[in-house]
Amino acid sequence: MDKTYGYYRVGVLAALVNGILLLGVSGYILYEAYGRFTDPPDVSSVPLLLVASVGLAVNLASAAILMSGAKESLNVRGAFLEVAGDLLGSLGAITAGVILLTTGWRYSDALFAAGVGLFILPRTFRLMKEAVDVLLEGTPRGMEFDEVAEAMAAVPDIQSVHDLHIWSVTSGFVVLSGHVDVPERADRQQVLAALHRVLTGRFDIDVCEAPGRDRGSRAGTPPDCLPESAELYRGAGHSAAWRRRGGKWSSWGYRSPDQSFT
């Protein structure tokens, strides 16, 4: 079976699985912390400090590598959360080792372990929620659906905006589609150019005309915004496409007979 979007969703699925695993890890950490509170074990502080120091160095290097990608990819963010949990665990172990070495208070290890588990849990839930939102094709973060619709409806000669959909295929790949109705007298290319200005200026979405049966005038629309394979044929007219900057794109078009963009 052909996959028109390729395997873009694999990263989101991996992020969701990663989140489920992180929930299990957090639960286990909290369970172990509870056991150590009720029956604190004897821990040798010097080996604890040595092992935790090595772990801290490794986790700092891993976190530095993953930090930039965690802002753009759910999958990388899941990996970053794992490393962040290990990093905090190393810091907690070092602190607990120092406390054990200086005071002999045996509850410090359990206390810091519980803190790590509680730190990971809410961030894991947020990661899973974002992954589920992408899989269920919810409106992307940072994109206000009503604001986009109202801005498009305010463009001169647009009578209505309907069947509007905004969703994510994967992290950083936002797609928008819908219908815009215009009166018979309207200059379709001028409407496209006006929509281009609004979407580019307010929402950082580029507009261009994709290859079609009747290419017509291309005034006000930059060429070659989509790959040659991205041909959008809609009804008997020609099509236009919006692609959000940074690799995010959306498709649009219109039918000639009733002067309705689809």
**pLDDT per residue as tens digits for the range 79-98:** 898 899 889 989 999 999 89
The larger pLDDT score, comparing residue 112 to residue 193, is at: 112
Check whether 207 has a pLDDT greater than 70: no
Say if pTM beats, i.e. exceeds, 0.95. Answer: no
Arithmetic mean of pLDDT over the chain: 75
Residue with tokens 């286990």: 28
**What is the pLDDT at residue 17?**
92
**What is the pLDDT at residue 216?**
36
| pLDDT over 70 percentage in the chain | 75
C-alpha 260/C-alpha 253 separation (Å) is 9
The answer to whether 221 and 238 are in contact (CB under 8 A) is no
Check whether 192 has a pLDDT greater than 70: yes
216: left (phi over 0), alpha (psi -120 to 50) or beta: left
Q: Where in the chain is the domain with CATH 1.20.1510.10?
A: 9-135
The larger pLDDT score, comparing residue 177 to residue 204, is at: 177
Can you tell me the mean pLDDT for 43-58? 89
Q: Choose the CATH number for 9-135 among 1.20.1510.10, 1.10.3720.10, 3.40.50.300, 3.90.1720.10.
A: 1.20.1510.10
**What is the pLDDT at residue 4?**
64
With b for 16 or more beta-carbon neighbours within 10 A and e for fewer, the 5-16 pattern comes to eeeebebbbbbb
Q: 92 by DSSP, 3-state: which? A: helix
Domain 145-261 is of which CATH architecture?
A: 2-Layer Sandwich (3.30)
Check whether 132 has a pLDDT greater than 60: yes
Q: Where in the chain is the domain with CATH 3.30.70.1350?
A: 145-261
C-alpha 232/C-alpha 11 separation (Å) is 27
DSSP one-letter code for 155: S
